[in-house]
Amino acid sequence: MTLVRCADAARTFGRGDQAVVAVHGCTCAVEPGARIAITGPSGSGKSTVLHLLAGLEVPTGGTVEWPALGATAVERSRDIAVVFQGPSLLPALTVAENVGLAAVLTGVPEAKADQRAVAAMETVGVAALADQLADTLSGGQAQRVAVARAIALRPRLVLADEPTGQLDAETGAHVLDVLLAAAAATGAALVVTTHDPAVATRLAEQWQLTDGRLVVPAEEGVRR
Ligand code: ADP
Ligand code: MG
């Protein structure tokens, strides 16, 4: 069953003269097992689409639905994990605490959250950093820890917003390896935004955004 579906979804920020149409006419669906890159230049609406898919933004037009996921935003928060573009770890907590925290906050008992955190850190290859404070990490290490934190929730859908955007090519490629391996290990669907064609071609499907308009390749539309 479809994880998330947008039908003619739009998101406008501001009102009147100040209104900015970030995304319009967005029709797409993410199925279980999907590996999707959303590509487009800066300002084309990538983050806004990702936030709509996550339920972090409410559409100002059209609909966004999660047929296979929980009925409420709280229930869905266990099914959907977001890897944000910029630094998103809590600097004064250790790596292990950062990775375990989201699970605890969504109601997983602490002992189980700890186990999941260890498993996630091992999957992503950051177990050796477990006791280090987050603010001592390099950019690439921090982004891998953010991936570990995302998969520790055992989500059905991982949404990563330019996860390689601030990394050099080699580190970025490694973070993408980690994301793909983690999605494969947990069975989660993966959607990655990127302006880098080298990153986009590593995902099975490419969706193109131009000025807030999403184009999903025709064959994908037919398959659905
Ligand atoms: P991208 O991630 O591709 O760079 P965004 O989705 O961040 O694009 O932004 C798309 C457009 O919407 C841009 O013109 C941006 O300035 C605008 N925008 C995004 N978020 C907001 C906001 N919170 N308030 C006002 N404008 C916004
Ligand atoms: Mg963005």
Task: Answer yes or no: is pLDDT of 148 > 80.
Answer: yes
> Which residue, among 67, 47, 80, has the nearest Cα to 6 in the 3D structure?
67
Cα separation of the two ends of the chain: 11
How far, in Å, from the CA of 173 to the mean position of ligand 1?
26
Q: Taking CB atoms and a 6 Å cutoff, what residues make up the pocket around ligand 1?
A: 13-14, 20, 22, 40, 42-48
> Which ligand 1 atom is at minimum distance from the Cα of 49?
6
User: Are 120 and 152 a contacting pair, CB within 8 Å?
Assistant: yes
Banded pLDDT at 85 (limits 50, 70, 90) = confident
What pLDDT is stored for residue 219 in this prediction?
A: 60
Instruction: Kindly compute the dihedral angle of the four CA atoms of residues 53, 59, 61, 63, in this order, to the nearest 10 degrees.
Output: 40
- Inter-residue contact 96 to 130 (CB < 8 Å): yes
Architecture label for domain 4-223: 3-Layer(aba) Sandwich (3.40)
Q: In which residue are the tokens 């055992």 written?
A: 154
- For 11, residues 6+ apart whose C-beta sits below 8 A from its C-beta are 21, 22, 23, 45, 48, 52, 57, 59, 60, 61
Ligand 2 midpoint to CA 208 (Å): 14
pLDDT band at 216 (very low <50, low <70, confident <90, very high): very high
Q: Which numbered ligand comes closest to the C-alpha of 48?
A: 1
**CA-based nearest residue to 8, from 55, 80, 59:** 59
Q: Is the pLDDT of residue 24 over 90?
A: yes
* Mean pLDDT value across residues 11-17: 94
pLDDT digits (tens, 9 = 90+) for 113-138: 899 999 999 988 899 999 999 999 99
Closest C-alpha residue for ligand 1 atom 13: 43
Q: Which of 3-17, 41-55, 101-115 shows the lowest per-residue confidence on average (mean pLDDT)?
A: 101-115
Residue 222, classed as helix, strand or coil, is helix
Does the pTM exceed 0.75?
A: yes
The residue nearest atom 27 of ligand 1, judged by CA position, is 13
